Chains A and B, each alone.
Chain A
Amino acid sequence: MTTELIDAAKTEGVRHTAGQSRSPMAKLGKRLLTALPLILLGIWTFVPFIVAISVSFKSKIETFANLGLRPQDPSIAAYQEVLTDPNFLSAFANSAIVGAGVAVLTVIIGLPAAYAFARFKFRGRHLLLLFTLLPRLVPSIGILVPIYRLAVATNMLDRRISLIFVYAGTLVPLAVWLMVGFFQQIPREIEEAADVDGANLWARLRYIVMPLAAPALITIAVLAFREAWNEFTLVLVLTTTPATRTLPFALFKMGQSEGISNFPAEAAFAVLTVLPFILVYTRIERYVVAGLTSGSGK
């Protein structure tokens, strides 16, 4: 009843406002006003990528001669240069290894802890809040110097395993927090029923909890991989040789060492860094968005 009234009033109101702007010019203006922010968003998001892609297909000379976005003589020389650069290849391998290591370690460590926090009543439960707040209390800028000194003291500098361990440490709180929320949504009754049927804790975890939590696990693995793939300041202080450097550090090194900037190669490097991740991301975007927004306070 009331909704019908409102609907009627709404169409009335729409007619009313439409009456104010009858001329086609005003209509066009109104449309433009709604479209403009979207266009702006598109420009804002994509132009930096487009510029980098455009430069990556130019030659070194053309970057200075042709300022337009479309390369006159598109060449893949920059990509060849980067793809045959041993620094890029080893950094790519390191990023992949560290990324995979962090994703696996974060899930392996985070999953049981989240299950304990979500399902058990025990003395450590009040730690959960502190646990989730800790990464905010301790940004990476706060651990940069201490971690470096500890790594030097324990002879763990310049090792991939140190990177994996440190990244996992920074990510486990987020992982636990995401998973606790997820586990709490799984009805206890399912597990209790399985318990009656004789399934022990491992069976329940393996056959009930993990399959149901798969979206959360995927989200966490992706976020963990992203962090390892992109993180820059910790890898900068924790590694000293190309043998352990990840992609961001290698790209940074490249920008530092060139006399005259080799823009096409830098751009190609950046594109090659971004590309694999975007390809992975587009397949699982909805999980990641859901995972990111579910926690950020509705």
Chain B
Amino acid sequence: MTVTQEQTTGPETPPNKPALSGAQIGQSRATPYLFSFPAIFVVSAVLAFPVLYGIWQSLYRAPELGLDEEFVGGLNYVDMFRDPDFWSSLYRTGIFVTGCLVVGTSLGLLFAFALYRSMGRLRWMRAATLAPYLISNVAAAVMFRLLFNSELGLINTTLDFFGFDGPSWLSSTTWAMAVVIFTQVWTDIPLTILLLLGGLMTIDQSYLDAALVDGASAWQRARYLTIPLLAPQLVISTVWLSYSTLTGLGVVLALTGGGPTGSTTTMAMEMYNVAFRALRFNQALALATFILILNAVLTLAYVRVARKYEIEL
């Protein structure tokens, strides 16, 4: 209402008001605070406060399930570091994150190059590669459980066709982790491809032309020109992938639930189990805090690298 009024009366008011400089474009001094308050409030309530509350609560413990929680200081952390399950989950997280990084980055590079070379003609292909990004971890898990089913899955049927005997992927303690890595990479790779493709498209074509004139082979051009010039995007996608896999729970939980016999229990999965299966919430909060610290170190590394390459955050 006020808006339309303002519109109609606007031209009639004499233009004696001085043009406001950009810095004071608003109505009053309070405006920016009023404008940003809801966002700051919601984000504090959902992200900042729960974390602080969680860290504080990790210093408490109920002597027995159902009893009141008492302050125990760092005892939950001491217990965590004494727990062999913690160390094995840390080890598995290492395998999981490294596996996802290696597979995700190499496939991401390969696919980004492929899309870059075919740009113009296959624009729809770029749109289509985003498809895995649009579906939930659970739907992805359903698909990959079908794909890797030992009796009726396409993977083993194909292996069988070539005369190989495929393993029973998801019930094998050695292969289940491979399937989890595969699925996680599948859900995460669209952003990696987009990032690397964006980087490829900003590379100055004249460098490549010059190299071509000098007789560099395709491999040499990729190895000594394109990949070094792609370094910022490679670093970002690496950091982003490690963030996503280190803190990722959805794929593991939906696909294997940490099994068989704990062989895919990463730290995030371990935290979930301690909290919602063993109902030792305070102990789980100690684990969550540990994951948060690991992740914060990663994020700070990201900021430093981004500054180094003068990437806008």
Contact = CB atoms under 8 A, between A and B. Distances in A.
B102 interface: no
B186 A48 contact: yes
A146 interface: yes
A298 interface: yes
Contacts of B295: 136-137, 139, 142
A106 B296 CA distance: 25
Contacts of A149: 53, 57, 281
Contacts of B7: 199, 203, 207
B129 A41 contact: yes
A127 B47 contact: no
B250 interface: yes
A53 B202 CA distance: 38
Contact of B26 (A119, A168, A269): A119
Interface in A128-176: 129, 131-150, 165-166, 168-170, 172-173, 176
A237 to B, nearest CB: 7
A136 B243 contact: yes
A90 interface: no
A125 to B, nearest CB: 8
Contacts of A140: 247, 249
B9 interface: yes
Interface string B235-252: 010000001000111100
Contact of B50 (A136, A143, A173): A143
Interface stretch (B27-35, B73-81, B83-91, B172-180): B27-35
B171 interface: no
Interface stretch (A72-80, A212-220, A228-236): A228-236
B36 interface: yes
Contact of A192 (B19, B35, B275, B284): B19
A196 B15 contact: yes
A198 B115 CA distance: 50
Contacts of B53: 146, 149-150
A144 B3 CA distance: 43
B285 A146 contact: yes
A122 B113 CA distance: 45
A69 B247 contact: no
B22 A192 contact: yes
Contacts of B186: 44, 48
Interface in A239-298: 247-249, 251-252, 255, 263, 266-267, 269-270, 273-274, 277-278, 281-282, 285, 288-289, 292-293, 296-298
Counting chain A CB atoms within 10 Å of each CB, the highest count among B15, B46, B57, B296 belongs to B46
A109 interface: yes
Given A197-B11, A233-B249, A274-B134, A293 B32 contact: no
B134 A278 contact: yes
Contact of A289 (B39, B130, B291): B130
A296 B51 CA distance: 26
B193 to A, nearest CB: 8
Nearest to A69: B154
Contacts of B271: 141, 144-145
A124 interface: yes
Interface string B47-87: 11011011001000000000000000000000000000000
Contacts of B181: none
B19 A196 contact: yes
Nearest to B276: A237
Contacts of B250: 232-233
A51 B57 contact: no
A45 interface: yes
A10 interface: yes
A206 interface: yes
21 contacts: A10-B209, A42-B125, A47-B147, A48-B186, A63-B152, A112-B36, A116-B36, A117-B36, A124-B40, A136-B302, A139-B295, A144-B275, A145-B285, A148-B275, A165-B42, A170-B47, A248-B138, A267-B143, A278-B131, A296-B198, A298-B311
Interface of A: 6, 9-10, 13, 16, 34, 37-38, 40-42, 44-49, 51-52, 55, 63-64, 67, 69, 108-110, 112-113, 115-117, 119-122, 124, 127, 129, 131-150, 165-166, 168-170, 172-173, 176, 188, 191-192, 195-203, 206-207, 226, 229-233, 236-237, 247-249, 251-252, 255, 263, 266-267, 269-270, 273-274, 277-278, 281-282, 285, 288-289, 292-293, 296-298
Given A48-B140, A289-B126, A297-B195, 20 more contacts: A40-B114, A41-B110, A44-B107, A48-B144, A51-B143, A64-B151, A67-B152, A116-B32, A138-B48, A148-B275, A199-B7, A203-B6, A230-B136, A232-B136, A263-B152, A267-B142, A267-B146, A274-B135, A293-B195, A297-B309
Interface of B: 2-3, 6-7, 9-11, 13, 15, 17, 19-20, 22-23, 25-27, 29, 31-36, 38-40, 42-43, 45-48, 50-51, 53-54, 57, 107, 110-111, 113-115, 117-118, 122, 125-132, 134-147, 151-152, 154, 157, 186, 191, 194-195, 198-199, 202, 206, 209-210, 212-213, 215, 232-233, 236, 243, 247-250, 253-254, 268, 271-272, 275-276, 281, 284-285, 288, 291-292, 295-296, 299, 302-303, 306, 309, 311-313
